[in-house]
Amino acid sequence: MSALLPLFPLGTVLYPGMVLPLHIFEERYRRLVRDLLDGPEPRRFGVIAIREGRETGVDGVSALHDVGCTAALRQASPREEGRFDLVTVGTERFRLLSLDRTMPYLRGETEPLAEETGDEAAAGLAVRAVAAAFRGYLEALAESGAATVLVHDLPDEPVLLSYVVAAAMIIDLPDRQRLLAEPDALGRLTAERALLSRETGMLRTITSRPAPDLRYAPYNPNLYTEREVVSPHPRTPLSRGAGRGGAPPPAGAWCRDAGGSRAGRGRRPARRSRLSA
């Protein structure tokens, strides 16, 4: 069944289970937040990546991707001049069917996307392969000085693992969007195995990776420079980070860069010299 959702176009990809802090300053999005707060629970809106255009300005967005993620509003802190600091959590994927421009902010007719595993036997094999490749990737990050990451345990459920890995890799927006749009966990894990092999190889052969193509990474004034990934598996702490303003973050691991996220803490890789998504 389709539903009409308020939309927040961003230069990043939100996955189910990811915590996304947002700073709301544009009037149209302040209106969106006020409308959510005036309405009943659950307070939800759609986060969808920008295909062409920019986040800010009335005519900033030219085109959107067709798969996004519903964000549940967990906390809204009013600030000066009517601004808000939000804490949101990704809940489920959706497909965008059509746009409604009758409000100051965009709304979209959306349909939820089921979380399918795919072939269970093949997915089980993919889980083991991706978990091993992911650990190798994190070791390469640490060896390169890009990050120091502690991974005590990883989920063995295909859907959960696929989102943990997708949220943690440092990859560009088109790759992140393709992972979100994969029809099932097996397809996502298969794509992640290839990406992990590519990224690990690059980390082991060069000291720093070239910066991402910023045509696919619009400047992101709405995102904090720290983002957190809530592990959907209770025994999967990747690492911990402090929240802004001294407030403790929600449980889970954080990814320091707002665009190409990574799990862990330490020095930022050279390729992420600016906020990008």
**Residue 15: which CATH number?**
2.30.130.40
Residue the block writes with tokens 């709301």: 24
Token digits of residue 257: 């860069």
DSSP 223: B
DSSP class of 249: P
Residue 236 CA to residue 171 CA, distance in Å, equals 21
Give pLDDT tens digits for 96-115. Answer: 999 999 999 999 999 999 99
Asked whether the beta carbons of 31 and 104 are under 8 A apart, the reply is yes
pTM equals 0.76
Nearest Cα residue to 12 out of 74, 68, 56, 70: 68
CA separation for the pair 93, 143 (Å, rounded): 35
Q: Hey, which bits of 135-263 come out as E strands?
A: 227-229, 253-255
pLDDT of residue 224: 54
**pLDDT at res. 236:** 40
Q: What is the pLDDT of residue 55?
A: 57
Residue 85 lies in a domain: yes
Residue 258 pLDDT greater than 80, yes or no: no
- Domain hosting 25: range is 3-112
Q: Looking at the domain assignment, is residue 192 inside a domain?
A: no
Asked, for residue 41, whether it belongs to a domain, the answer is: yes
pLDDT band at 1 (very low <50, low <70, confident <90, very high): confident
Counted domains in the chain:
1
- If you average pLDDT over each of 142-156, 176-190, 212-226, 262-276, which comes out highest? 176-190
- Asked, for residue 117, whether it belongs to a domain, the answer is no
188 domain-assigned:
no
* Average pLDDT of the residues in 234-245: 37
- Average pLDDT (10-23) is 93
- Is 141 part of any domain? no
pLDDT-derived band at 265 (thresholds 50, 70, 90) equals very low
**Per-residue confidence (pLDDT) for residue 108, from 0 to 100:** 96
Q: Does residue 240 form part of some domain?
A: no
Q: What is the SS3 assignment for 15?
A: coil
Residue 71 in domain: yes
